[in-house]
């Protein structure tokens, strides 16, 4: 019987601790970090990419936060002695809504990712690059403590417009639209609440 009461007390404590994270006036801090590398066996082909996007938000009302992510994206493609790199600074304003209180909450996030940078081939700048998009992503947050939220999120519904404007050339625009709700490959993250 003691175990039952201890378990009940622990659940009540976790539920109480998770009540205060998403109240008006609180802050959320987190972000993303990524690294990929790929090489072709028995060839000189290799690609490497890196991105970092710290973010911070403010709860304008209970369960509704607005915020901003600032970061950098870089990738390099090597083909024998040739090398192409792309670097871009990124900005992503976002809004997020959480379901009602509890240690497990559903959330929806809309963000507007944008980026500006350049493309280089063998060290010489060859083009300016830019991208603009919008994403609607659903997820689940679990609050083991009052200051930490563990998140599982899919990309969801998205649109992106990428532009490449070569030096002295004509601009190329690629528009991408999709729905990515692969629950077998979610993004996993940790957010901090103050």
- The per-residue pLDDT for range 107-117, each reduced to its tens digit, is 999 999 999 99
Q: Name which of 34, 30, 49, 50 is nearest 111 in CA terms.
A: 30
Q: Is the pLDDT of residue 2 over 80?
A: no
Kindly list the distances between the CA atom of residue 12 and the CA atoms of 9, 53, 68, 94, in Å, as whole numbers in the listed order: 5, 35, 33, 32
DSSP secondary structure letter of residue 167? T
Report residue 21: phi and psi, to 5°.
-65, -40
Residue 70 to residue 153: CA distance in whole angstroms: 19
Residue 139 to residue 153: CA distance in whole angstroms: 4
Q: Is the pLDDT of residue 6 over 80?
A: no
Q: Is the pLDDT of residue 182 over 90?
A: no
What is the three-class DSSP state of 186? coil
Region of poorest pLDDT, from 11-25, 76-90, 95-109, 125-139: 11-25
pLDDT given at position 193 = 86
Mean confidence (pLDDT) of the chain: 86
Residue 38 to residue 4: CA distance in whole angstroms: 52
Region of poorest pLDDT, from 14-23, 94-103, 180-189: 14-23
The CATH number of the domain where 59 resides is what?
2.40.160.20
Looking at residues 88-115, what average pLDDT do you find? Answer: 94
* Domain count for the chain: 1
- On whether the CB atoms of residues 127 and 165 are closer than 8 A, the answer is yes
Structure tokens at 138: 């659903």
Confidence of residue 1 (pLDDT cuts 50, 70, 90): low
β partners of residue 77: 47, 84
- Structure confidence by residue, pLDDT tens digits, 14-66: 444 444 588 999 999 998 888 999 988 877 889 999 999 999 999 999 999 99
Residues of the domain holding 188 = 2-193
Cβ partners under 8 Å of residue 69, min gap 6: 31, 32, 53, 54, 55, 90, 91, 92, 93, 94, 111, 113
Confidence of residue 184 (pLDDT cuts 50, 70, 90): low
Q: Name which of 180, 185, 187, 181 is nearest 150 in CA terms.
A: 187
Q: Name which of 67, 68, 110, 116 is nearest 89 in CA terms.
A: 116
């Amino acid at each position: 019987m003691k175990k039952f009461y201890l378990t009940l007390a622990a659940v009540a404590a976790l539920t109480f601790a998770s009540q205060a994270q998403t109240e008006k006036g609180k802050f959320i801090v987190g972000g993303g970090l990524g690294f990929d590398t790929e090489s072709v066996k028995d060839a000189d082909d290799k690609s490497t990419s890196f991105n970092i996007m710290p973010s911070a938000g403010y709860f304008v009302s209970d369960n509704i936060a607005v915020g901003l992510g600032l970061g950098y994206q870089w990738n390099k493609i090597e083909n024998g002695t040739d090398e192409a790199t792309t670097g871009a600074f990124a900005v992503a304003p976002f809004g997020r809504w959480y379901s009602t209180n509890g240690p497990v909450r559903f959330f929806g996030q809309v963000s507007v990712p944008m980026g500006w940078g350049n493309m280089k081939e063998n060290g010489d700048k060859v083009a300016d690059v830019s991208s603009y998009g919008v994403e609607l992503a659903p997820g689940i947050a679990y609050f083991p403590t009052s200051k930490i939220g563990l998140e599982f999120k899919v990309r969801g519904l998205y649109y992106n417009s990428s532009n490449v404007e070569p030096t002295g050339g004509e601009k190329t625009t690629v528009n991408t639209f999709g729905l990515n709700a692969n629950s077998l490959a979610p993004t996993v993250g940790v957010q901090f609440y103050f």
